[in-house]
Chains A and B, each alone.
Chain A
Amino acid sequence: MTPPVTDSLREYARGIAGGLMFSLPLLYTMEVWWAGFVADPLRLILYVATVFVLLLGYNHYAGLHHDACWSEVVIDSVEEMGLGILVAAGMLFLLGQIETDHTAVEIVGKITIEAMTVAIGISIGTSQLGGDEAKAKGGAEASAKTEASFGGQLAIAGCGAVLFASNVAPTEEILLIATESHLLKILGLVLLSLTITASILYYIEFSGSRPLERAGESILSVVMGTMVSYAVALAVSAAVLWFFGRFEEVALLTCVAQTVVLGLAATLGASAGRLLLQ
């Protein structure tokens, strides 16, 4: 039986609202518009491909249609990305960032870069902001699927990390903090990131979430879980920084420091993602 049109319309609207909620900071950031025309087109294609893989992972493990088969997951991901492009284009137009004297490369670059975060936001909005009926619909299957595999956890953590990290990555402040603060303070950020990751995953109880802790869980698995989340966060922040050209013509130390500075944002996203989105 096909779902009624009004239901799918509501689902799209919910997704778009979520997409805007999560990506508005990026849409309002001029460094992101600039990155759109400074970045190499090939790098943009790579970014689109990466985000698509993340969307596939997210939709497979945490998507609204818990009983979805792979072809449905692909269709959902394509839809989210397409809506992301539409929303980004519309928003950029309203923000006066698409003008007649801009070249096509410039416009497409800007839209692409913004659309990817919007797409992740749409994906999360569609599945997480759903009303009771949507939750009830997927309820039975959902409970069967809560035990996401290790790969699924990584995909969800990656999505959360990208969403949080890409909001601050293009700003000048990351480079400023990385180059101006004392190395011991950067080290302090590492410790803070690890503490926060561990407490989000195993200690703080977010509403609607289920702590990862199970009876008889050893210290070792807590340490491992924390490390995995933080590692995903660091990898994502390094990738996002590379994408925004933050690693060009800087010393290795600055690259690492920037990764750590952004890593705090990324690890918040990664651990919150792992908890909330399962």
Chain B
Amino acid sequence: MKKIKKNWLEWTVFALSTVLIASVIGFLAYESAMLGEALPDIQLQVGTPEARTGYFAVPIEASNRGDQTAEGVHIEVVLRSGKEEERSDIEIQFLPRRGRREAWVTFKTDPRAGTLEARVLGYEKP
């Protein structure tokens, strides 16, 4: 076998590349070993409402505890203050496995005066 002609830059790039590829493959292999078959399991967390110009915004954090990605996650938030009920909803395009996404729903009445209840209406398999 003949001698390989490489300068220090080429060797550096090669070494860096080897490390990069090895870590990507290693990480993917680890994840694939850790990954189960659990269906999407979505948890919602309602944040503190904030007043905006003419409406109120409520931050929603959706996290997926499952091992599968959910597509088109439809979330409904109901605000109950006294006898009044106001509904708001939001759709999150993709909620990756074990990932989280943030969104806002808005209300006309002040949510700080009532109680907020959030639930997932539905989602599909991507």
Contact = CB atoms under 8 A, between A and B. Distances in A.
Contacts of A42: 28, 32
A75 B14 contact: yes
B51 interface: no
B7 A34 contact: no
Nearest to A45: B28
B28 A34 contact: no
Most buried by A among B5, B13, B14: B13
B17 A82 contact: yes
Contact of B32 (A12, A37, A41, A82): A41
Given A71-B4, A101-B101, A102-B99, A81 B21 contact: yes
Interface in B6-42: 6-10, 13-14, 16-21, 24-25, 27-29, 31-32, 35
Contacts, number: 107
Contact of B6 (A37, A45, A75, A103): A75
Interface residues of B, number: 35
B9 A8 contact: yes
A101 B9 contact: no
Contact of A83 (B1, B17, B96): B17
Interface stretch (A56-64, A104-112, A156-164, A189-197): A104-112
A5 B9 contact: yes
Interface of A: 1-5, 8-9, 12, 34, 37-38, 40-42, 44-45, 48, 69, 71-72, 75, 78-83, 85-86, 101-106, 108-109, 111-112, 245
Interface of B: 1-2, 4-10, 13-14, 16-21, 24-25, 27-29, 31-32, 35, 69, 94, 96-102, 126
Given A2-B6, A9-B9, A45-B29, 4 more contacts: A38-B96, A44-B28, A71-B4, A105-B31
